[in-house]
Structure 1
Amino acid sequence: MRHVRVSPTAAQQAEQAAPATRRRPRQSRSRASLTALQQAFVQVLLERGYAKTTVREVSAVAGVAVGTFYQYVRNMDGLAALCIHQHVHALADALRREAAARRGADRREIAAALLTLQLDAVQRQAAAWSALFQLERRVSPLDAYRRHYRQYVDIWRAALAAAAEPPPRLDGAASMAHCLCYGAISQALLSQGPAADFAALRPELEAALSACLG
């Protein structure tokens, strides 16, 4: 009997990439508490920096008891990793929707649309993304980074495969497109902070993407 490898769905990939929580929120109230903790964490992180961010303050800003914090995550690193995952996952979902809306279009048009979405989404929350990119290297294990990388490359591959004329080297083009976008955006925020010059970055990335797509 021949075994066929079935690729995981987008939902399964996101589930595999998600940091482990102590308790999975099932009720709407529980999900609201976990969401409030994540939002409070980002707020306190931007106001005080990670070294001065405490469980007590994050819980107070979220409007939940300290005990509730520990029901869902083990420590501050765990909450930070969860916030990073949620930001990455939300952006991935937006990219999938944009790619689906561009099926059958020219591959350069698809690439330009995905690039614009990423730049605009990150720029709207530049301070948060800048802080989370810095934390990613501290709190996210290498396996999580690799899963996120594969997730985004798969998004690019599916988007370009659905173009009117897919690039001749589809796998290489998808990998390079993600590396160009993620690398340029993350390095701009890491080196320049929230004031990164996205207006200057945009045409440079557009030209690089056009060249790699052939």
Structure 2
Amino acid sequence: MTGFLFDDTAFSAGANETLGTDAMVLRGFALAQDAALWRAIQAVLAQAPLRRMKTPGGRLMSAEQTNCGQWGWVTDKAGYRYADRDPLTGVAWPAMPLLFRQIAQTAAEQAGYARFEPDACLINCYGPGARMALHQDKDEADLGAPIVSVSLGLTAHFLFGGLHRTDSVRKVLLVHGDVVVWGGQDRLRFHGVATPVKGEHRLCGNQRFNLTFRRAKA
């Protein structure tokens, strides 16, 4: 299977897909603004480059990451946490681009979460062979706010499990421009990302980018 089997219109824009009581996929939601999003990502990376972080146990993560916004998610031997400065440079993370905030807020509102105010955006880059194991997003002080996740680049399966690691996992194919929103009863579901389908995307090359918006602090 190659990335060319799925183009940016593999699913109809606006065809929402329910994942749970309080979770859904907004198909093609960010597609019309993909070029502007890509430029904004490059501006963030110029200030806070991608890097492979280590888990508290010393394992090197396969996806590269960076952050923008008031807070950035980091991991090292001290543990998982949010920090207001980039540990590589010692300076504040780049400001969250206005377009990022607008897309996160409008997606959240469409999914039923009004007045979402993200203060953190984790940028993940999945190159060939990279993936994200099942995990919960539980380092945020405000678990009442949803998670908004924007997919750009190569196609990949989003793994959406239950409240326990051993629960069954649903595989959801995500293409360029799709946005996933989950919160409420589904906020602490285990989730992950499988290795992207091989290919060359017109905008992102042989990579998949994921913008994950959160309310890190209450």
Provide the TM-score with structure 1 as the length reference.
0.29
Higher radius of gyration, 1 or 2: 1
| Higher-RCO chain (CA-CA 8 Å, sequence separation at least 6) | 2
Provide the TM-score with structure 2 as the length reference.
0.28
More helix by share: 1
More strand by share: 2
